[in-house]
Amino acid sequence: MPDIELIGLHRTLADPNAITADPFSIAKSIANICATSNYDVEAQDLVIRSLENLDAFGNARPILNSLVRECGLFPYVDLDFSSTNDLFAAALHRYSPLGEDFLLHREQRNVLSLLLSKRSVVLSAPTSFGKSALIDAVLAAKMYDSVLIVVPTIALMDEARRRLTRLFAPEWKVITHLAQAKRDKNIFVLTPERADLAIIGKLDFFVIDGFYKLGHEAEQDRLATLNKLCYRLLQRKIPFFMLGPNIEGIPEELAQHCAFERKDYKTVAVNVTLVDADPVTETIALCNRLKDSTIIFCRSPARAIEISESLIASRITSDNKQSQIASDWASQSYDPGWHYARALAHGIGVHHASIPRSLAYWAVRAFNRGWLKFLVCTTTLIEGVNTRAKSLIIVDSKVNKKDITFFTFNNIKGRAGRMMQHFVGDVYTFANSPQEELPFVDLPIFTQPPNTPASILLGLDSPDLTAQSQARIKSLSQNGTLSLEFLKRSTVDPELQIAAAKRMLEAPEYWIRQFSWTSSYPKWPQLIAINELIWETMGGKFVRGGVYTPAQLTKFTFDLIQRDLKRMISEFKSEAGTADEGVQRTNSFLRNWATFHFPKFLILAGDIAQETVAKGVELSNYVAFALSVERLFYDAGIVALDEYGIPLPLAAKLESRLAADNSIDETLEKLRNLNIDGLNLHQFERGLIRVARESLR
């Protein structure tokens, strides 16, 4: 169909008055296009657009309803306006294990038929396809007792846990920490770093959500972890389901094990408008006239702060009691100058990596419930977190200083519109769409190109290594300091491990002293020496986590022992100069260094010392100290509550009632039974506890 005619029809379908003026003629035009194009992507797009103002079609609605059925969009079929044939076709797409009214669209049903026959499937499909529903459908079929679902982020882990608990508890136990006790039927929902297969044990089926990260993960450690996990899972020869956004293809070595299903089947339509103006000024103007829920995508947390502050300054805000209550609590618990708290006071949500997970989750929930009209975000929201946005503004054409790829642009664009929520989404962008080129997911565990991280190769069995890879492994085995078996234990680059070992071997007695403590904790000179080693030889200087020197890392690690969040914020604030920067750096330090990188590096450094300079020497218990830092010197269950929607200031307040000797299961059980009526809690805190308990069936 000529573009000019298509644009005209798009405009007509967006105008209820124009449809009402001649509904049968418009319905006939859509039907003719569908018939002549065999219901291709363009025709289906028109059918979806017609649903946005379906009531305007009046007596012509049955025509549109039949077209919806012909496109296979059965969840959108209005059974009250359906013929007998349409009703029969809809019945064939009903999936009663998820509810008598649950309907699959045509392509979902096709993929599910493969999965229910225990075929392994790699699915590449748009954001609005309904991929998560396919996971639910497989579980509802009750073919498997032990399932692992690997997700790329803790935010997605929490979202999946809430959904799966609602659908399948108590028959299945949904486990997000391997310290939790197993039952007869378990669904493990874990990030790659948490998925220890030795602890998980028997599995019947596994899922890798965001499988494209097997070939496109920016952080080398995470790339190695995910690939090694995938390799060991494939060795189990059990059915699997890998899913993610649109990609071009997968390696032949993986295709031999599965059906590769590439779908361009969309359930929402999107209008993309290129805006030629100053991004900040025009974003304000757009927000001033957009009437519906709007996501604003930014390249970085700093840009998100700039946009949210500009919205506040321009008084482009909304008034909501719930967001006011949340703002009051965040101001008291962190700092009144924190942009998250300031934004909430004006009905604006903010979501990025330096916001505690529980509060980022609250912002998404509030946005989806209509308490917030605007949600300013970075890629932390884009990677799979479900939202209900009518409009999306893409302020920046870069992410982490790199141009947005076509793949990333599609992923961001997919946040506009939502199946069963908004039939048509509106995207406003200040840069042309990148050149249309979808990635080929190159799994280095199979292809082993020359730039494959050595940490991945060390995770493969010798028969699966190419000649070139075997030569690289042989070279590593001749490093003269650490054995291959030792290097395999960690996903840290083996060259960095070797560099740390060589540094220690230059002064053996010195390093023995650094790991020989007279109490449970190292002294300042000991810890700063270890942190300098981590920083200079093990890759610590490349970690983005709020600290910029080994001395800062040491200082704030010791501050953790005080368990005083507001003091840490105050100290970061005095160093950074602004309240906002103080809160941001504190949260970044806690998330990136304290609960992840520092414990990993410290344990590895201690193991290297034991392996090289301290053989036969009893060192201090560096593992216990590392785990204490990882828990922020709280009970393990208290810190874990952030993933269940309870931020640290509230969890700390409830520690005496919820701590359970580091048992996460027992802490959650105590939370379920907690009587909050007699407690001196902020109104916002009471709401957080209620929502958290709803997800703990």
Quick: pLDDT tens for 294-350: 999 999 999 999 999 999 999 988 888 999 999 999 999 999 999 999 999 999 999
pLDDT value at 6 more than 80: no
* Helix pair angle (524-537, 550-560), 10° resolution: 130
pLDDT (mean) for 277-288: 94
| Confidence class for position 434, pLDDT limits 50, 70, 90 | confident
More confident residue, 409 or 518: 518
Do 602 and 624 form a contact (C-beta atoms < 8 A)? Answer: no
More confident residue, 434 or 652: 652
Backbone angles phi, psi at 241, to 5 degrees: -140, 115
Do 491 and 224 form a contact (C-beta atoms < 8 A)? Answer: yes
Quote the CA–CA distance of 620 and 643 in Å, as a whole number.
31
Backbone angles phi, psi at 261, to 5 degrees: -110, 105
Backbone angles phi, psi at 521, to 5 degrees: -120, 150
Task: Tell me the per-residue pLDDT of 130-169, one tens digit each, with 9 for 90 and over.
Answer: 899 999 999 999 999 999 999 999 989 999 999 999 999 9
How much of the chain, in percent, has pLDDT values that exceed 70? Answer: 98
Task: Tell me the per-residue pLDDT of 20-71, one tens digit each, with 9 for 90 and over.
Answer: 999 999 999 999 988 888 778 888 999 999 999 999 999 999 999 999 999 9
Task: Tell me the per-residue pLDDT of 638-695, one tens digit each, with 9 for 90 and over.
Answer: 999 999 999 999 999 999 999 999 999 999 999 999 999 889 999 999 999 999 999 9
Backbone angles phi, psi at 212, to 5 degrees: -60, -20
**What token pair was written down for 296?**
């604003």
Closest CA to 379 of 152, 543, 226, 594: 152
Closest CA to 338 of 93, 580, 638: 580
Four-CA torsion 411, 414, 415, 420, nearest 10 degrees? -150
Which residue do the tokens 């070139």 mark?
Answer: 468
Q: What is the residue-averaged pLDDT of the chain? A: 92
Q: Which helix (H) or strand (E) holds 274?
A: strand 269-274
User: 3-class DSSP state for residue 398?
Assistant: strand
**What token pair was written down for 535?**
């920083």
Backbone angles phi, psi at 207, to 5 degrees: -125, 135
Quote the CA–CA distance of 515 and 270 in Å, as a whole number.
59
Task: Tell me the per-residue pLDDT of 626-642, one tens digit each, with 9 for 90 and over.
Answer: 999 999 999 999 999 99
Task: Tell me the per-residue pLDDT of 159-217, one tens digit each, with 9 for 90 and over.
Answer: 999 999 999 999 999 999 999 999 999 999 999 999 999 999 999 999 999 888 888 76
Quote the CA–CA distance of 538 and 519 in Å, as a whole number.
26
pLDDT value at 436 more than 70: no
Task: Tell me the per-residue pLDDT of 512-559, one tens digit each, with 9 for 90 and over.
Answer: 999 999 999 999 999 999 999 999 999 999 998 899 999 999 999 999
Do 609 and 512 form a contact (C-beta atoms < 8 A)? Answer: yes
Which residue do the tokens 């942009």 mark?
Answer: 339
pLDDT (mean) for 244-254: 86
Identify the pLDDT of residue 247. 82
Least confident of 84-98, 372-386, 571-585: 372-386
CA angle 374, 293, 369 (to 5 degrees): 90
Identify the pLDDT of residue 3. 57
Task: Tell me the per-residue pLDDT of 102-118, one tens digit each, with 9 for 90 and over.
Answer: 999 999 999 999 999 99
Distances in Å between the Cα of 345 and the Cα atoms of 328, 336, 341 are 8, 10, 6
Identify the DSSP state of 439.
P
pLDDT value at 2 more than 60: no
Query: Each residue of 107-118: b (16+ CB within 10 Å) or e?
Result: bbbebbebbeee
Quote the CA–CA distance of 516 and 354 in Å, as a whole number.
35
Quote the CA–CA distance of 190 and 599 in Å, as a whole number.
19
Identify the DSSP state of 347.
T
Identify the DSSP state of 57.
G
Regarding pTM above 0.75, the answer is yes
Identify the pLDDT of residue 372. 94
Do 294 and 287 form a contact (C-beta atoms < 8 A)? Answer: yes
Identify the DSSP state of 435.
P
pLDDT value at 420 more than 70: no
Identify the pLDDT of residue 389. 86
Identify the pLDDT of residue 380. 83
Identify the pLDDT of residue 457. 96
